[in-house]
Structure 1
């Protein structure tokens, strides 16, 4: 049974006139008549009574009509589903993000804009460190990531595109002498206690802190570790230590914590959007393009 012949049948059943049906289909009457004859032969039944004056449906034609309409409707629905999937309008997008990234005004603005443009896409947000995101993208557990590039580099299979750069700030207890110092440099932190993310957590800022201190000839004295940004800032308020943090963490307003700009010219951190190299998923392409448009 040919789909085109079913279309011919439904149009002719609506019009009950060969000339009008052919005009509606954009064909001549000859292929329309041939198509109907072929369909009747396939089904082994006459579908229309034909006379010089009129065309009417037979009982077999009446029996076929509802099914034919339903078949064509399902085919059209299938076409639309495929088109939506290819166009990126439906499906799922698994997006990784860092804890600090979620505190930036950029993050809710981007997510809201994407959901507004693609309301039928189910977006799954997964909070992971930068290193864990790179692993998850490479292993196809995530589609896209919002992360900070590790100093050790990223896998060749992952594409990183910069979104924005922000300063690293010194988060320190407000009563500490450095909270009110005229200028603060990383070198001034040589003998100070630090609070940091665990090294194994894969947080890029931790790696960067070690590198910045190493360039000044010392290793930071890490007295306390914290898994979450809010915990880290809260512990700084106790006076246990200080930390280098992205400027977006200023959104965590904890009494007793001061964020100081550093005088060093290499204390910045960049957020990237990451995805697998060669990924042709339309949802990924659209999200990356949207993220880059916000730069």
Structure 2
């Protein structure tokens, strides 16, 4: 098995069409077909079903594709690490961020890390929660940040920051009569919520908060990122939600923010990491700084 076999397989798995895959790889179709056949013979499994209706992955092919993508991720990381070391860096931290789990404190913290250890390269990847958890388990990511502790086996979730959830309403809205908006007052109002495919953990928090309104929710739009939600709210589409820590950086004349009169209206940011115990010295220092700053 050669690396080119895996690269040809990955492209064909995405295209599911031999001619299109060959064109994308800048080769003729016969060499592509031979490479796939050689790979299947080497593995002892059929990766693709081929018939007059087209080409599709088998169950074995789908499983092999996931592992192949992880392998290419590791190879890319190895390439970047080598370049970073050649440029003077002494290591790297691969961090995943999901659910929009960033705020000014996170920026300040990263700035501190860069100032205290400039030789450690910090690489951030913004990914859906499912991809983050998969990456933490496989080692593609060293740690991650998200808005949920419901992460399954093999992952440790440690609360880092807690913020009140506030609502964003259009200017001159009837809900502005309340200094703190009771949850039941949202009954029937159109809501602009986040996209669960992008902010899965954040959506879980909102789903629990809005549970009493489950049968009376009027969700009119799904919007990610925050700026799009605020644009829709400002245009009068509905009411949105955000963490209080993001209010100073998202103020707009057409949107007014009000706290919720609900004690449970809190969004927690969690530090996620594998429970394998495989922690580098640079990662230990990173986590120590993070915990050290919790009281600031």
Q: Shared fold by TM > 0.5?
A: yes
1:119 is matched with which residue?
Answer: 118
Partner in structure 2 of residue 227 of structure 1: 224
Q: Give the whole-Å Cα distance in 2 for the aligned partners of 1:179 and 1:245.
A: 16
SS of 2:203's equivalent in the other structure is helix
Partner of 1:256: 254
After TM superposition, the runs of 4+ consecutive aligned structure 1 residues lying more than 4 A away are: none
Distance between the aligned counterparts of 2:135 and 2:227, measured in 1? Answer: 24
Displacement after TM superposition at 1:239 (Å): 0.7
Please name the residue that 1:168 is paired with.
165
Once the two structures are superposed, residues 159-193 of structure 1 have per-residue CA deviations (whole angstroms, 9 ceiling, x without a partner) of 11111211000111122111232431121111011
The question of whether the paired residues in 1 share the 8 Å contact of 2:100 and 2:199 is answered with no
User: Larger Rg: 1 or 2?
Assistant: 1
CA shift digits 1:101-153 (9 cap, x unpaired): 33x22111110111122211111111234454333222322111122115xx1
CA distance in structure 1 between the aligned counterparts of 2:141 and 2:287, rounded to whole angstroms: 14
Counterparts of 1:292 and 1:275 in 2: how far apart (Å)? 14
The one of 223, 233, 239 aligned to 1:236: 233
Distance (whole Å) between structure 2 residues aligned to residue 263 and residue 115 of structure 1: 39
**1:271 counterpart SS class:** strand
Provide closer, same or farther for how the CA distance between residues 117 and 129 of structure 1 changes in structure 2, counting only shifts above 3 A: same
Q: Contact conserved, 1:130 with 1:204, CA < 8 A, in 2?
A: yes
Whether 2:132 is the aligned partner of 1:133: answer yes
1:84-95 correspondence to structure 2 within 5 Å:
90-95=90-95
Aligned pairs for 1:176-215 (under 5 A) are: 176-215=173-212
- When the two structures are aligned, how many residues end up with a matched partner? 205
TM-score of the pair, normalised by structure 1:
0.64
Native 8 Å contact 2:182 2:262 kept in 1:
yes
Structure 1 distance, partners of 2:246, 2:284, is 29
Q: CA deviation at 1:218?
A: 3.5
1:58-77 deviations in Å (ceiling 9; x for gaps)? xxxxxxxxxxxxxxxxxxxx
CA contact (8 A) 2:100 2:146 kept: no
What stretches of structure 1 of length at least 5 have no aligned partner?
1-84
The answer to whether the 8 Å contact 1:99/1:229 transfers is no
Where 1:101 maps in the other structure, the secondary structure is coil
Task: Normalising by structure 2, report the TM-score.
Answer: 0.64
Q: Cα RMSD between the aligned structures?
A: 2.1
Query: Any idea what the Cα deviations from partners look like across 1:20-42, whole Å, max 9, x if unmatched?
Result: xxxxxxxxxxxxxxxxxxxxxxx
Q: Which residue of 2 aligns with 1:270?
A: 268
Question: Tell me, which stretches of 5 or more residues in structure 2 are unaligned?
Answer: 1-84
Query: Which deviates more, 198-207 or 109-118?
Result: 198-207
Residue matched to 1:32: none
Matched-pair contact (CA < 8 Å) for 2:166–2:259: yes
Q: Deviations over 1:6-60 (max 9, x none)?
A: xxxxxxxxxxxxxxxxxxxxxxxxxxxxxxxxxxxxxxxxxxxxxxxxxxxxxxx
User: Is the CA contact (8 Å cut-off) linking 1:96 and 1:146 kept in structure 2?
Assistant: yes
245-254 vs 258-267, greater mean Cα deviation: 245-254
Kindly tell me: are residues 257 and 129 of structure 1, through their superposed partners in 2, closer, same or farther at Cα, counting changes over 3 Å? farther
Q: Provide the C-alpha distance between the structure 2 equivalents of 1:113 and 1:270, rounded to a whole number of angstroms.
A: 22
Counterpart Cα distance in 1 of 2:100 and 2:258: 17
